[in-house]
Structure 1
Amino acid sequence: MTGRAGSRAVTDDRPPAGAARPAETARRARARLLGLAASRPVHLGASLSVVEILVCAFATMRHDPRDLDRPDRDRLILSKGHGVWGLYSVLAELGVAGLDEPRAGHPIDGTPGVEAATGALGHGLSIGAGLAEAARLDAADRRTLVVLGDGELDEGSVWEAAMFAAHRRLNTLIAVVDRNGMQQEGGTEAVLALEPLAAKWAAFGWRVIETDGHDCAALTGALRTARTPDDRPSVVLARTVKARGVAFMEGSAAWHYGQLDEEQLTAALAALAAGERGA
């Protein structure tokens, strides 16, 4: 696992910039993300829906953007790798340097803040389970968070990893499902029904926590609960909206992947601003 170039050691545990203002950090990250989408095709829907999940995850993790190599850090694996522009934007807002130049459309090794290369769906939870098993063998309390898409749960390898994690009682492993109800081909329940999703995870031996994936207070509370002692891995089912923040994109599979022209960018930024004023 790489991706922590150019970091420097620090000796304090002050929270990173933006950690105390998650809603504002999320708003700024969305605006940054929209600007990126004006210059290249981006998986917009998946990146916009996951913003609060990433902001609140980093706010609850042992993670310092000034020292991305600290050995006791918690790890975050973005298993839904096509949402990486959300990750780049959030990390940049939190102060991680080196993310302003063009990057690949999926997480790649050597990128600041990226713990693992992902993209082919269904592998992130296996990576996370391996990291959690290593923490167990080391008797370390570092957490591993894995952010999955709900369409990604169609992959059988996700459930193999879920069984392994429960069997090994990997209680430092937290999965977060971006439950926006959409995937590339359409609605998840039409493509391959997932419900009753909470009951499925519980049957696999996981502690299940459900929350609003755009309410920063509720989401932070859910993630903190997932960190409390238990003898099982935990999963947070975060209800979200595809392309959250831009009204004319929200809930549309058409914006799973695309590029904004100048007129669309202006409209998207206006929609984002209007939504924030009305919140």
Structure 2
Amino acid sequence: MTNDITELKRVSSQVRRDIVRMVHGCQSGHPGGSLGCTDFLVALYFSVMKHQPVPFDMDGKGQDLFFLSNGHISPVFYSVLAHSGYFDKAELGTFRKLNSRLQGHPTTHEGLPGVRIASGSLGQGLSVGIGAALAKKLNGDDALVYTLHGDGELQEGQIWEAMMFAAHNKVDNLIATVDYNGQQIDGPTSKVLSLGDLHAKWAAFGWDVLETQGNVMEALLATLTEAKSRTGQGKPVVILMHTEMGYGVDFMMGSHKWHGVAPNDAQLAQALAQLEETLGDY
């Protein structure tokens, strides 16, 4: 765990290398959102969350919990878990391959340390996070629950039901984050189904709303620290995190076309040339 911005950026660079190599290795997966959310997950697991990789405890009593709702960005999740010590990073080479624990969407039946719910069916993660947060309250556990969602995922009705429920029940030990990159698999969210004024909508539903730049480590750490300070005050907290899909790889940035497409050999080499190897490739 560290607050050293330089070190966190070094971890992010390695995680981004892992992402493009994993997706290339099986010619399948979702690099765009994974690259965009790298800085957030690195900040969370290496600086902000109170968690214990070994031994992994499914209940997570006394620990902060994280639930990945947009489970298709599993490459970044797996890489961060591996570098955090949940399992050997060599296993990243098995991503999406037969008999691997690293499925395209995270699952629990394979017993992968760090994964507490199967995810990928969009819209469900906020409900799960609320349930876990309420369980912590019932157990007298003052640790926090974090969730991550795609902005396209907010087109799911279950999200809005969960938002109402959390505010009504004062689930104030929960911090939800929205990857607000404006892209989804079929194109810009503004064209597929506009989300309108998200800040105003979350606030109207009774949430404490923060906004930040999700690809600036300094801004992320400051916002996550502020979000933690606002817990316990009767409102759930949400961070609208502005990111760029494909961040860190110039030809992938800002386009929905890299939502779920793997790079070829030449594109992999081009991507890796832009990402410093800092912690050693798997």
Same fold? TM cut 0.5: yes
Return closer, same or farther for 1:17/1:201 CA change in 2, 3 Å cut-off: closer
Q: Deviations over 1:86-140 (max 9, x none)?
A: 1011122222214433321111002121121101000000000101111122222
Q: Give me the CA root mean square deviation.
A: 1.8
Q: Read off the aligned partner of 1:32 and give its amino acid letter.
A: D
Provide the residue aligned with 1:66 in structure 2: 54
Provide the residue aligned with 1:235 in structure 2: 238
Task: Give the distance between the partners of 2:40 and 2:179, measured in 1 at CA.
Answer: 8
Q: Deviations over 1:4-29 (max 9, x none)?
A: xxxxxxxxxxx389998221111110
Task: Give the distance between the partners of 1:138 and 1:93, measured in 2 at CA.
Answer: 30
Provide the residue aligned with 1:38 in structure 2: 24
Once the two structures are superposed, the pairs formed by residues 1-80 of structure 1 within 5 Å of their partners are 15=1, 21-40=7-26, 41-58=28-45, 59-69=47-57, 70-80=60-70
Question: Which structure 1 residue ranges, 5 or more long, are not aligned?
Answer: 1-14, 274-279
Tell me if 1:156 matches 2:143.
Answer: no
Task: Give the distance between the partners of 1:169 and 1:36, measured in 2 at CA.
Answer: 40
Task: Give the distance between the partners of 1:147 and 1:46, measured in 2 at CA.
Answer: 12
Return closer, same or farther for 1:266/1:247 CA change in 2, 3 Å cut-off: same
Task: Give the distance between the partners of 2:270 and 2:65, measured in 1 at CA.
Answer: 36
Provide the residue aligned with 2:273 in structure 1: 270
Provide the residue aligned with 2:76 in structure 1: 86
Report how far residue 34 of structure 1 moved.
1.2
Question: Which structure 2 residue ranges, 5 or more long, are not aligned?
Answer: 96-101, 277-282
The normalised TM-score by structure 1 is: 0.88
Task: Give the distance between the partners of 1:47 and 1:130, measured in 2 at CA.
Answer: 26
Tell me the SS of whatever aligns to 1:21: helix
Q: Read off the aligned partner of 1:91 and give its amino acid letter.
A: L
Q: Read off the aligned partner of 2:235 and give its amino acid letter.
A: R
Q: Read off the aligned partner of 2:122 and give its amino acid letter.
A: L
Tell me the SS of whatever aligns to 1:71: coil
Task: Give the distance between the partners of 1:72 and 1:16, measured in 2 at CA.
Answer: 20
Tell me the SS of whatever aligns to 1:72: coil
Q: Read off the aligned partner of 1:63 and give its amino acid letter.
A: H
Provide the residue aligned with 2:118 in structure 1: 117
Report how far residue 32 of structure 1 moved.
1.1
Task: Give the distance between the partners of 2:218 and 2:270, measured in 1 at CA.
Answer: 28
Return closer, same or farther for 1:75/1:115 CA change in 2, 3 Å cut-off: same
Q: Deviations over 1:135-187 (max 9, x none)?
A: 12222211110100000000010011111110110111110001111001110
Task: Give the distance between the partners of 1:159 and 1:181, measured in 2 at CA.
Answer: 19
Provide the residue aligned with 2:107 in structure 1: 108
The normalised TM-score by structure 2 is: 0.87
Task: Give the distance between the partners of 2:187 and 2:13, measured in 1 at CA.
Answer: 26
Task: Give the distance between the partners of 1:190 and 1:20, measured in 2 at CA.
Answer: 38
Q: Read off the aligned partner of 2:243 and give its amino acid letter.
A: T
- Counterpart contact for 1:125–1:175, Cα < 8 Å: yes
Task: Give the distance between the partners of 2:201 and 2:43, measured in 1 at CA.
Answer: 25
Question: Does 1 or 2 have the higher relative contact order (CA < 8 Å, sep 6+)?
Answer: 2
Task: Give the distance between the partners of 1:159 and 1:54, measured in 2 at CA.
Answer: 24
Matching residue within 247, 257, 260 for 2:260: 257
